[in-house]
Every structure is written in structure tokens, then in C-alpha cells.
Structure 1
Amino acid sequence: MAYAANVIRGDDPSTTKLYGERTAKTSCQYLLPHVTKSAKILDVGCGPGIITADLAKIASDGSTIGVDNSEGIIKQASTSFPDVPNLKYQVGDATNLKDFADNSFDIVHAHQLLVHISNPVPVLKEFYRVCKPGGIIAVRESSPSVVLFLKPDLPGIRQYWDRAMAMMPKIGAQTQAGIDLEKWAKEAFGTDGEKLVYTKTPVWNAGHTERVTGPAAAHAIQYGMATQEEMDQWAEAWKEWDAAEDHEWVFEAGEILCRKGI
């Protein structure tokens, strides 16, 4: 797992900035029609918790729990939404949701979690275990190797991203997560009694300036991703991208909705 290798820290500001613009509307629109007011929801790999809080507001008569393996990000999330009384966050491991009993949740949700996990099928099996019969498992994953659109399309960004894609498998990450999601889900859930819907959508991304500057860049250099000179060149490219009007960076994403058999 990328986080286990300590190459990517869940509570690193360079990481949380990338996740900070994600909302339920932008990141799990495919799920929202299925969220009832009384739903009991588990959001796994919740990060700073913005999507989690949005889901809790929709399920205002239910309860929502956000789980992440980073103590730092859970502390941040726990103090960020004081106006949402039916919401809580706790440290947990997606590969072993031991704090939760079988058949506990109406909805088990994850957004761009499996991309960071070397063996996603056991994680999906845990989602299935804690989901109630008749409940929904909803997962959205990007395929970061499939860049649909980059504007402005700068050589420095392309070089940086090619290097990142070469490094990701070495730290246990999945560059084809959105593409492989349906295959993983079928292996984890089987075909007896549940309905599986798979769709593809674009996912818009924030720039990576913070990943090629400061402590994150120093860590990547130490890990062998690049030289300092290369990092400096990539940082200039990302700064130019950030300053450009109407900049866009779009990946392909896959989404699944599975209703657990009764």
C-alpha cells in the first residue's frame, strides 16, 4: 500500500489539498439517488472528510462514520464539521474493518481508495461483509494512467506524470484501478443475489505543485523518483499550469454500485 510505504502521507498538506475540493456532488453523484434520509453509512478512506460530511447531511436522520488509516487526517476531519451531529470519524484499516459487525451499514462507500491498495479484492470483501443485505456498496476509482485531457499540455507535467506512473506500482498502487474495478468487484461479490452496475466517468484533478515542492518533493527524491533538478523543472511546469486560465487535468474513472443480496 502506498501509505504503508510512507511515500504518501494521508495527513500531508500536499495530499489533503488534492482531496480538499472533493464533494459528494462532484465525486459520488452516481450514489446520491440511493442515499435515504435514514441511511446508516460507512465511508472508507475518508481523508479530510468532506464527502463524508455531505453524505451525513443527506442522511440526516441516519448516521455516518468516516474511516481512515491516518490518525492525523482523522483528527483534522473530526474538528472540521461541528454542525453535523450524526457524523463521526475514526481511525481504521480498510483491509480489516474489525470495529464493525457483519451487516451493519445501508451504504458502504469509498472514493479513490483502492488505487492506493496493492490487493483490493479483500478490501471489497470487507465492504460486502459489513453491508446489510439489500444495502449498497459504492466505489469510484480513477485510472491515473488514462489522462483524458490536460490543458495546458506541458512537457514538464507529462514527464512528471510518466515518472509517477512508473513509481506507483513499486509502492503497491494501482494505475488501472478504474478499469479493473468491475473485475475486482465480481471477484469479491460473486454473482449470487446482487446487482452490479459499472459506469465510466471523467474525474477532474487539482494540480500537483505541492507534490513537487517542499517536504513531499524531498521525500520523492529520497525514494528515487527524481533528481532535485527534475523536481525543480516539474515545479515550474505545475506553477505555469496553475497560473493558466481554464486549466484542466482529467482522468478516466470507473464507478460501481452493488446491491448486496438478501
Structure 2
Amino acid sequence: MAYNYVKGDDKAVTDLYGDRTANSSCAYFTRYVAKTAKILDVGCGPGRITADLAQLAPDGHTTGIDNSEGIIDQAKASFPHSSNPNVTFAVGDANNLSQFADNSFDIVHAHQLLVHMTDPVAVFKEFYRICKPGGFLASRESNPSILLALNPDLPSIREYWARTNAVMKKMSSNPDAGSKIEAWAKEAGFGVDGGEILASKSPMSMPGHLGMVTGEKAEQAIKYGMATKEEIDVWAAGWEEWERAGEDKQFMLECGEIICWKGT
């Protein structure tokens, strides 16, 4: 069974990023961002968080990387260098950051990245390598299996979400990354070198997944064996009902957050 039909720059996927900003996604560490910080945002997606972080470090430089060339093109178009001179976007792979030297960045940031990684400890080792002594890693990951709120609470959406988590596991992803990131970071070297680790939890509001169960995405899900047409139709009806709830609708997950300072 194949599950590689979901591409990072597909609109149905980028729509799921919702209104993620530094304010909504990085509040746990923004008070530690110095104006002169050199920041790497790994898995930057369409670049909104990257650009926000750059504004917090106007006298530094922020680089956003993603393994999707298409989404990097979107980020460059949305935040052109002419208007954002201290921001750079480039294609890059979290598993291999060899384009960056050891001890290069004051802050290494990743949001909702490790959930997709097959070897998260190897990724954290790369983060540790490129983080400057005295600098820090900031990582926020959801625990998709922990639904904090669903309104309207529809059985069809719960069934869809359970299947989504099962598919993630078959893709060798980590649907409970938020509860594991601290252990992964320690295994990679953080916290055992004299540096401090701060861990916390917070809720994350999610947009609906109607785009994942309609149109081309629905056809691909059926083609690759993720679901039957009958299941897709039920899930689509559920998300349509959820959307009709307007301002009353809620879809909220638990997130784990860590700030890991590299020892000096």
C-alpha cells in the first residue's frame, strides 16, 4: 500500500497550516530571541513563522528551509527578499544539514516537523551540531492522538482522525511526537552537556480537513488504499457539517514544547 501521494506544497496540505504565526506557535520561546540572533527555521513551509521570527531578530538573520522546492517558491513569493532583507529561504533536508557548519545558529527552530521524521534522533543530532554553544533548539510537536476539543463532536470525524493516525504510523511517522521530543533531544546530546531543557504543553487549534477528503486528494486516498469511497463520502459529510458550525467549531490537539540550550 502506498502513502506517498501527499505532497508538502499541495494546497490541501498548506491549508492545514491554518494561521500559524510566531505568536500562535512560538510563544513558548520568543522571549528568548535576541535582536541579533541567527535563526534556522527547519521545515518552514510557506514561511509565515520564518518571517515573524526574522522580525523578532531585526539585526540578525533568519533562514527557512524545507524539502519541498514548490513550498520554498511559495515562501519566496510571499516574503520577497526586497521586503524582507534579513530572511533567506532555501531547499534543505532536516536529515542532512551539511550545508551548515558546526555551531552556526543561535536558535534552531522546528514546528510540527518531527512528527514526519522516520529517525527523529538523527534529526536532533543535526540540530545539536549546528546550534552554537549557549544557543538553543526550540521544538513544538503535536500529539494527534490526544484530541483536547472537537465541536461538533462527530463520530465520522473521530473515525477519520483515527485512520489518519494509523496511516501516519504505517508511513513510519510519529503521531505522538509531542510526548517524545524531550527524550529524543536528550538522546541527541541536549541536556547532558550542562545545558538546560524546559518542557511544556499547550493546545493547538487546527483547521478542518475537508480538503483532504474531497477532490483530487479523495481520489488519491482511494487509489492508494487509505480508504474506500464510502468512507471518504462519510468523512467529507462530517467535515462539511463541522465547517457549518462557523465560529462554534473546534478541532484542538495537545502539543509538547521544548527549549534546549546547548552547553557551553
Question: Would you say same fold, with TM above 0.5?
Answer: yes
Between 223-232 and 69-78, the greater mean CA deviation after superposition: 223-232
Whole-angstrom distance in 1 between the partners of 2:217 and 2:34: 40
1:251 is paired with a residue whose SS is strand
CA contact (8 A) 2:150 2:252 kept: yes
User: RMSD value over aligned CA atoms?
Assistant: 1.2
Q: 1:104-140 deviations in whole A, cap 9, x for unaligned?
A: 0000000000001111000011011111110010000
Whole-angstrom distance in 2 between the partners of 1:129 and 1:218: 42
Counterparts of 1:209-220 in structure 2, within 5 Å, are 209-220=210-221
CA contact (8 A) 1:20 1:50 kept: no
Whole-angstrom distance in 2 between the partners of 1:167 and 1:49: 27
Identity %: 58
Q: Where does structure 1 differ by over 3 angstroms across 4 or more consecutive aligned residues?
A: none
Whole-angstrom distance in 1 between the partners of 2:136 and 2:4: 32
Between 167-176 and 68-77, the greater mean CA deviation after superposition: 167-176
Q: How many residues align?
A: 259
Counterparts of 1:62-77 in structure 2, within 5 Å, are 62-77=60-75
Whole-angstrom distance in 2 between the partners of 1:34 and 1:75: 30
Whole-angstrom distance in 2 between the partners of 1:126 and 1:65: 16
Q: How does the TM-score come out when normalised to structure 2?
A: 0.95
Whole-angstrom distance in 2 between the partners of 1:187 and 1:41: 23
Displacement, 1:8?
A: 2.2
Displacement, 1:88?
A: 1.0
* Structure 1 residue identity aligned to 2:88: K
Displacement, 1:90?
A: 0.3
CA contact (8 A) 1:68 1:93 kept: yes
**1:250 maps to what in 2?**
252
Whole-angstrom distance in 1 between the partners of 2:180 and 2:122: 14
Q: Which runs of 5+ in 2 are unaligned?
A: none
Q: How does the TM-score come out when normalised to structure 1?
A: 0.96
CA contact (8 A) 2:3 2:224 kept: no
CA contact (8 A) 2:18 2:207 kept: no
Q: 1:200-220 deviations in whole A, cap 9, x for unaligned?
A: 111111110001111222222
